[in-house]
Amino acid sequence: MPMHDEKETMNAEAGSFRDKKMGGKRTTFKKTVCKFCAQKIEPDYKNPDMLRRCTTERGKILPARITGTCAKHQRALTQEIKRARVLAYLPFDKQ
């Protein structure tokens, strides 16, 4: 029986060593929910305040992994931001 306990402790130690070697404790993250799906709204070029939240200070469109929007709404958001830029609701770049 002592042999079995030794193997378990060795495996447990090896696992902890592997975790430390690979960067420590694994962290879990909360998946962000698309705010357009949650609030049941669509992106609109006439609402520049909403569109500004999805752009950087320099005017670049933020990716979906940062904003948390789903693929469908990210495509619509991109089109609406481009539309708002052409119609001068949003600047092309901030100076």
Instruction: Return the CATH number at 73.
Output: 4.10.640.10
Structure confidence at residue 93 as a pLDDT band (50, 70, 90): confident
Work out the average pLDDT over 49-66.
93
Measured CA to CA, the distance from residue 8 to residue 87 in angstroms comes to 67
Q: How many domains does the chain have?
A: 1
Closest residue by Cα to residue 73 from 33, 34, 24, 17? 34
Residues in the chain: 95
Percent of the chain with pLDDT over 70: 68
Measured CA to CA, the distance from residue 17 to residue 20 in angstroms comes to 5
**Domain contains 3:** no
Closest residue by Cα to residue 64 from 88, 89, 28, 37? 37
**Domain contains 24:** no
Residue 38 has pLDDT above 70, yes or no: yes
**Domain contains 20:** no
Measured CA to CA, the distance from residue 42 to residue 58 in angstroms comes to 24
Closest residue by Cα to residue 52 from 89, 25, 95? 89
User: Residue 25 CA to chain centroid, in angstroms?
Assistant: 21
Domain of 40 in residue numbering reads as: 35-86
Structure confidence at residue 94 as a pLDDT band (50, 70, 90): confident
**Domain contains 2:** no
